[in-house]
Amino acid sequence: MPIVDNAVYVEGRRIRNPESLEQTFEHMRDNKGVAWIGLLRPTEEEIHAVAAEFSLHPLAVEDALSGHQRAKLERYGDVLFAVLRPARYIESAETVEFGELHLFVGPDFVVTIRHAEVPDLAHVRARMEGQPDLLRAGPEAIMYAILDEVVDEYLPVTEGLQNDVDEIEDALFDAGSPQLSRRIYDLSREIIHFQRAADPLREMLESLLRGADKYGVDIEVQRALRDVWDHTLRITEKLTALRSILDNALTLNATLVTQRQTETALVQNEQVKKISGWAAILFGPTLVGTIYGMNFTHMPELDWTWGYPLALLAMAATSVALWATFKAKKWL
């Protein structure tokens, strides 16, 4: 049975520890209390049993069964259905790992359906049971506590992403390279996925606060929800800033890579010029020497008294002329 924990609360106090869902429903009706049922990867039959007891809307039940939902908040009559995407940061891989939490909140019940180990709702339950005055406010107080836990777990994720962005900024001018561009791109993708989980929370909390008076939400719960909204706003603004920094870093790194490739090409071009210049300088004497080394019979220069000195002079003059030309063109 995937029931992690379930209990019935009256006036903020836990009065029963039912062993089955049927007992939970019975104690809730008999004591006019609030049921808090926590399920982990439940079967289809178990979800349908809860849905039948609390008259949950078929569309919400369908979402809970299928999973892989975006973060959202929907109201079906007097029942709220929320999908939350808790997250944790994997430092070694520089990735964000997401869970999925479905939350049904009615007038006298809260049902949580987890599809991953996070968040630790046992911690939330223990904290709320230690605050009976707040728990007395009803299902909305439980919903606040769960939202607060999810947002609190976002903080270390944001800090981990911030540290990685700082490392990229430090390495940008020292190690501008295609490999760094890949790291920047991968980190940007993680931030985008995190934004998709965190951004809807702001609208969800704003919607809860707008309808608080209409649905008679306790004033202390409203204040607590505003505090969660404030933390969420800071996180979403931080993520927007980190994404902007990475966008600029990616552009700058691409510019640095291009610049360094251009500088390398220029250095190579200068080296090619020098090699070509000296090859041409050596080619002049080689050409003269090759001509006079053919040993043809009818070469009148072979009989000249000054033929040999003139050949040497031609070699030297050719080399000096080429050297002067290349020097003037700054090839050497």
| Residue 188's CATH number | 3.30.460.20
Flag whether pLDDT at 23 surpasses 80. yes
Please give the average per-residue pLDDT across 66-88, as a whole number. 90
Q: Are residues 115 and 125 in the same domain?
A: yes
pLDDT band with cut points at 50, 70 and 90 for residue 181: confident
pLDDT tens-digit series, residues 132-149? 999 999 999 999 999 999
pLDDT > 60? residue 243: yes
Can you tell me the distance from the alpha carbon of 152 to that of 320, in angstroms, rounded to the nearest whole number? 79
Looking at per-residue confidence, does 176 or 57 come out higher? 57
Task: Out of 196, 224, 258, pick the residue that ends a domain.
Answer: 258
Neighbours of 184 (CB within 10 A): 25
Q: What average pLDDT is seen over the chain?
A: 84
d(CA 181, CA 185): 6
From 167-171, 204-208, 257-261, 298-302, the region with the lowest mean pLDDT: 298-302
Cα–Cα nearest to 82, from 205, 235, 249, 229: 205
Residue ranges making up the domain that contains 41: 3-258
For residue 1, pLDDT beyond 50: no
Answer yes or no: do 191 and 269 share one domain.
no
> Rounded distance, CA 282 to CA 299, Å?
24
- DSSP at 70: P
CA dist., res. 71 & res. 77, Å (int): 20
Domain boundary among 208, 235, 258: 258
CA atoms within 13 A on the CB side of 66: 9
Q: What is the pLDDT of residues 289-326, one digit of tens each?
A: 676 666 666 666 666 666 667 677 777 777 777 777 76
308 and 210 assigned to the same domain: no
**Residue where a domain terminates, one of 234, 258, 282:** 258
Pairing of strands 34-40, 109-114: parallel
Residue-level pLDDT at 302: 63
Q: What does residue 54 show for φ and ψ, rounded to 5 degrees?
A: -105, 5
Which tokens go with 59? Answer: 């569309």
pLDDT at 285: 73
Do 121 and 225 reside in the same domain of the chain?
yes
Q: Quick one: tokens of 67?
A: 């999973």
Helix (H, G, I), strand (E, B) or coil at 136: coil
Written as six digits, the tokens of 260 are 């360094």
Region of 98 on the Ramachandran plot (φ > 0 left; ψ -120 to 50 alpha; else beta): beta
- The reply to whether 164 and 135 lie within a common domain is yes
Q: Are residues 209 and 315 in the same domain?
A: no
- Provide the CATH number for the domain around residue 314: 1.20.58.340
Structure-token match 């994720």, residue found: 157
Claim to verify: residue 254 and residue 286 sit in the same structural domain: no
User: Tens digit of pLDDT for each residue in 247-274?
Assistant: 888 888 777 767 776 766 666 666 777 7
User: Do 300 and 194 share a structural domain?
Assistant: no
Stated as kind and residue range, the H or E segment containing 279 is helix 219-292
- Note whether 113 and 42 are within 8 A (CB): yes
- Could you give the number of structural domains in the chain? 2
- Residues 264 and 120 placed together within one structural domain of the fold: no
Residue 268's pLDDT is: 66
Does 183 lie in the same domain as 223?
Answer: yes
Looking at the structure, tell me whether residues 43 and 185 fall in a common domain. yes
The answer on 285 and 142 residing in a single domain is: no
